[in-house]
Amino acid sequence: MAEDKSAMEQRIDNAIYGPPKIKPDEQRKYLGTFRERVCLTISVAELQERNWSFAISKELQRGIGNQVFLNGNLPHAELRDYIKSATAANANFTLKTEPEFRTDPESLAVVVAAKTAVYQSPVDVKKRYPSVESQPSAKQETPKKHFWQKLFKREDE
């Protein structure tokens, strides 16, 4: 349409389709928020690699972002630790279950954001916490020695 709509036509369109969104692709990517408000992101692939709940706790302790958006289309078992971290830090968390939030490996699973613009960079969890990535996760712990093995340790060990 080359011509502008009248105020009444705009009002009818808003009633039928809802108000127009600002940057809808950006909001879809960041689980309903804008990029300038984001402090930390965890993708679905990163979520399945290891438990990043300590990163959520550290970000919430910084005091910049206090809202946690979780992709509710993922299984609850994968999100449980992140919900606990947000609750322990007295942060607000929201499960986003709309079908527009996908569960592809490159899609975001967890987003820590502020209510206003904070312009944090980098926001990817692997870039923000690179030293922690190289440490073994809890799933790859070394086997613990029994009491008797510690007491009677041999010289060849």
**Count of domains in the chain?**
1
When comparing pLDDT for 74 and 135, which is higher?
Answer: 74
Give residue 1's pLDDT. Answer: 47
The pTM score is 0.74
User: What average pLDDT score do residues 51-68 get?
Assistant: 92
User: What average pLDDT score do residues 4-9 get?
Assistant: 84
User: How big, in percent rounded to 5, are the helix, strand and coil portions of the chain?
Assistant: 40, 15, 45
Q: What is the CATH number of the domain that holds 70?
A: 3.30.1330.30
Give residue 155's pLDDT. Answer: 57
- Does any domain span residue 18? no
User: Could you tell me the CA-to-CA distances from 139 to 49, 55, 97, 135, 136 in Å, in that order?
Assistant: 10, 17, 29, 11, 8
Residue 126 and residue 133: Cα distance in Å, rounded?
A: 7
Say whether pLDDT at 2 is over 80. Answer: no
User: Domain residues for 41?
Assistant: 28-128
- Does any domain span residue 7? no
For 27-37, give one letter per residue: b (16+ CB within 10 A) or e: ebbbbebebeb
Cα dihedral sign, 105-110-115-119? negative
Q: Which residues pair with 77 in a beta bridge?
A: none
- Does any domain span residue 72? yes
Query: Closest by alpha carbon to 43, among 122, 111, 109, 124?
Result: 109
User: What average pLDDT score do residues 57-83 get?
Assistant: 93
- Does any domain span residue 34? yes
**For 49-152, where are the E strands, in sequence order?**
67-71, 92-96, 108-113
Residue 148 and residue 56: Cα distance in Å, rounded?
A: 39
Cα dihedral sign, 2-6-7-12? negative
Give residue 83's pLDDT. Answer: 94
- Does any domain span residue 147? no
- Does any domain span residue 2? no
- Does any domain span residue 78? yes
- Does any domain span residue 97? yes
Q: Is the peptide bond preceding residue 136 cis, with omega within 30 degrees of 0?
A: no
